[in-house]
Amino acid sequence: MAAGGSAARRAQEARRQERLLREQWQSARRQARQWEAASEGERRVAAQLLVLTERGWRLLVDRRWPGTRTANVDMLMVGPGGVFVIDVKNWRRAPEVADGRLRAGGEPRDEHAAKLLAVTKAAESAVASLGLSPVAVQPLMVFAGHRVDAGLGRIRLLGEHEVGPALLSECRRLRAESVRAIADHVERVFPDYEGSAVTERIPPSPGQPQQGVPDGLFDLEGLRDAALEEALRAPIEQWMTFLHPDQVALVRRNWSGPARISGPAGTGKTVVALHRAAHVARRTGGRTLYVTYANNLPRVQATFLKAMAPAVADRVDFRSLHSWAQEFLQERGVPVRLHGNKAQTAFSLAWKYVGRDSRLAEVDPAPIYWREEIDHVIKGRGITTFEEYATVPRRRRRASLRRPHRQAVWELYEAYEELRIARGVHDFNDVLSLALAEASRPTGQLPYAAVIVDEVQDLTLVGVRLLHALVGDAPNGLLLVGDGQQAVYPGGFRLTDAGIDIRGDRGQVLRTNYRNSKQILDVALTVVAEDAFEDIDGLRTPGRRDVDLTYHDGQVTRVTKPTVHDHDQALLDALRAMPGGTRADAAVLCPSKRAIGHYQRLLAQADIPVCLLEHYDGRPVDAVKLGSYRRAKGLEFKRVYLPQHDAALSDGVPAGERFGVAEVPETLREREELLRSQLFVAMTRARDVLWLGSVGSPR
Ligand SMILES: Nc1ncnc2c1ncn2[C@@H]1O[C@H](COP(=O)(O)OP(=O)(O)OP(=O)(O)O)[C@@H](O)[C@H]1O
């Protein structure tokens, strides 16, 4: 539509909203006047809110606080924007908020905030059984006769004119049926208050505007603008508000120390973690750190939280572990010179001087295996002496290393460190070790009330220790979320290695996959069926796990072509055949940087818009996403295309045959296992369609 047309539509809609609101306001004012015994302030606020009852909201006035005999709740509003617990204040002096305290006329008024928070908690409990996340329940203090719009922790303070527009501006969380069901439920849980000041209520009717009655205190303009925005806004996804009641219970649970949520792919771990972040931020008023290993995920998750719980979004820091650690060190004045390339040169030289001709080549001649040994086992676990390394359990590393091999590794490590230090640079592990030393200093004031770690299985032991050091064993402090089956980096750790003690109900497992269709999950599970894995709690779990599925249909398409050219053509055909408008929810995922480069060029030549996963921030963009299996972690797409998905895998051919050796090196088995995990992760990103391309002769 042309810009002029759109402006005309907006103006017409604005006029329509204004007419409607004028009528509704007259009617609301008539109703509020019937409430003889209510205070004048309450009546004015109620009149503002009654206008919203014409727009799908339900207003409950003067209700009894459940579990008490005499306490009441001024108002409860349930509508598309969620559930609002409203305390109306008739204060002569305007409220002031400073340093997280509420005052009026210089007098402290914190007890009013405490009472409102307590009753909000009761409302949260009331709706949790319906699966409503706490992010949808919000406390409001509304001040008759004042103009206010301020925040006090999770409480929003609004003036009588601000409240209507504010509620209409809330993102649309509930559909009309949900509003009805929730309002009915809330009405039962919060019964009529016996000593109610409100004596008469008349059901709202549109009524005719009374001629000559001035608008008085009605802020027509503010309300009209908000109503207009509301009318033009697209609805947001349902998961932002509704969870399974078991998930809501986890979001709201009070944990006495570190906790862990695990579960297979697609079981809602991240969704629970995000709702938990919002919940904790609202409850504590302090800052929450939400960390992942991957550095593209924080942007996406921050976008989700902002849409879901805008009021607390600025109290949650979404960061990748290394970027956070670097910033933390900078703030503490600890010099860091992270230089990945120079560190890699130091390692290459160390390999040339002491590794290549050592007995390590007997185990695996590829230097990458030994770089990983240093990164994930020695430095990743914070090991600083050979004695320690000589006996350490090398978790998730298959090749067994006897003492002489470990000695050779240690010599390589020492040579690497010497060369790295001579170049004056740090590697990624150094950053974490330095941050751990800094965070463990008793003097430091630690900035977070809670730390949530997503995809925890990707971290090193030092990384987990660092995050644990930030909050220690404080109640509701540390939450670890992840799934050992989706480990895409070598090595690993157990929680006990990190000194993290998770017992009883602090370890929770989710079992319902809400993402993948059965067809897709079956194919993905076949890839890892034989790969039992050890999770961070030390439990060995079979590769094929039992998962409950929520029913939805899906499709797996396998395409095998004799040449790369034909294969790529088939991929382009499949991408071009996507129904209109679905490009934004499609991803092409590749196992290596080289493959990404190849497909980026291919798609560009075919004029198919591409958004690289490293630039994706969770907001819809009309382009096919392109990135590595690793970068796709934690994300999901309706359609996932995996070109040449089996190129690096043995695909049924015994590795020995392929490599022409009688005995397959354990390191090779380990690498293949890791590749299968990565492929499994890539496949389970697909909700409805999974396209698997191969080059070769059809079997
Ligand atoms: N209660 C629910 N009802 C419907 N859908 C849900 C529910 N909980 C989660 N989902 C949906 O399930 C999908 C997977 O959720 P999420 O990404 O949190 O899973 P996960 O366990 O973190 O996955 P992975 O480990 O594979 O990254 C998302 O699309 C999410 O919206």
Q: How far apart are CA 386 and CA 15, in angstroms?
A: 78
DSSP-derived secondary structure letter, 192 = B
Q: 541-695, superfamily in CATH?
A: P-loop containing nucleotide triphosphate hydrolases (3.40.50.300)
**Does residue 273's CB lie within 6 angstroms of at least one atom of ligand 1?**
no
Higher pLDDT, 663 or 352: 352
Higher pLDDT, 223 or 352: 352
pLDDT at 238 over 50: no
Per-residue model confidence (pLDDT) at position 629 = 95
What are the DSSP calls for 474-492, one per residue?
-TTTEEEEE-GGG--SS--
498-544, pLDDT tens digit by residue?
A: 999 998 889 999 999 989 999 999 999 999 999 888 888 888 888 88
Q: Which atom of ligand 1 is nearest to the CA of 514?
A: 12
**Does residue 514's CB lie within 6 angstroms of at least one atom of ligand 1?**
yes
Q: Which atom of ligand 1 is nearest to the CA of 687?
A: 29
Mean of the pLDDT values across residues 573-593? 91
Per-residue model confidence (pLDDT) at position 326 = 97
Phi, psi of 271 (to 5 degrees): -60, -45
Q: Which 3-state string (H, E, C) describes 534-590? A: ECCCCCEECCCCCCEECCCCCEEEEEEECCHHHHHHHHHHHHHCCCCCCHHHEEEEE
Mean of the pLDDT values across residues 110-135? 90
Q: Do domains 245-333+446-510 and 541-695 have the same CATH topology?
A: yes
Residue 352 to residues 328, 357, 365, 414, 415, Cα–Cα distance (Å):
35, 8, 12, 13, 10
268-324, pLDDT tens digit by residue?
A: 999 999 999 999 998 887 899 999 998 888 998 998 888 888 888 899 999 999 999
pLDDT at 613 over 80: yes
Q: Which atom of ligand 1 is nearest to the CA of 244?
A: 1
Higher pLDDT, 240 or 632: 632
Per-residue model confidence (pLDDT) at position 217 = 43
Exposed e or buried b for every residue in 588-604, given b needs 16+ CB within 10 A?
A: bbbbeeebbebbbebbe
Instruction: Please report, for the chain, the start and end positions of each structural domain, with discontinuous segments joined by +.
Output: 14-233, 245-333+446-510, 340-425, 541-695
Per-residue model confidence (pLDDT) at position 154 = 84
Per-residue model confidence (pLDDT) at position 356 = 92
* CA 264 – ligand 1 centroid, Å: 10
Let me know if domain 245-333+446-510 sits in CATH 3.40.50.2000.
no
Residue 321 to residues 178, 350, 460, 466, Cα–Cα distance (Å):
39, 28, 11, 10
Burial (0-12, 13-18, 19+ Cβ within 10 Å), 194 = exposed
* DSSP bridge partners of 693: 559
Tokens 């398409």: give the residue: 557
Strand, helix or coil at 142?
strand
Q: What is the dihedral of CA 589, 590, 596, 598, to 10 degrees?
A: -110
| Close Cβ partners of 441 (under 8 Å, ≥ 6 residues apart) | none
pLDDT at 208 over 50: no
What is the rounded average pLDDT for all residues in the chain?
86
* CA 679 – ligand 1 centroid, Å: 19
- pLDDT grade for 409, boundaries at 50, 70 and 90: very high
pLDDT at 30 over 70: no
Six-digit token pair at 526?
């076949």
User: Under a CB-based contact definition with an 8 Å cutoff, are residues 483 and 264 in contact?
Assistant: yes
Higher pLDDT, 7 or 43: 43
Per-residue model confidence (pLDDT) at position 436 = 96
Per-residue model confidence (pLDDT) at position 349 = 97
| Close Cβ partners of 25 (under 8 Å, ≥ 6 residues apart) | 47, 51, 215, 218, 220
> What sign does the dihedral 372-376-379-383 (CA atoms) show?
negative
Among 215-229, 487-501, 572-586, 603-617, the range scoring the smallest mean pLDDT is 215-229
Per-residue model confidence (pLDDT) at position 32 = 62
pLDDT at 681 over 90: yes
**Residue type at position 110:** D
pLDDT at 478 over 50: yes
Identify which of 488, 514, 685 to mutate to test ligand 1's pocket (most ligand atoms within 8 A of the CB).
514
**Does residue 269's CB lie within 6 angstroms of at least one atom of ligand 1?**
yes
- pLDDT grade for 222, boundaries at 50, 70 and 90: low
Per-residue model confidence (pLDDT) at position 220 = 53
pLDDT at 215 over 50: no
pLDDT at 160 over 60: yes
- pLDDT grade for 663, boundaries at 50, 70 and 90: low
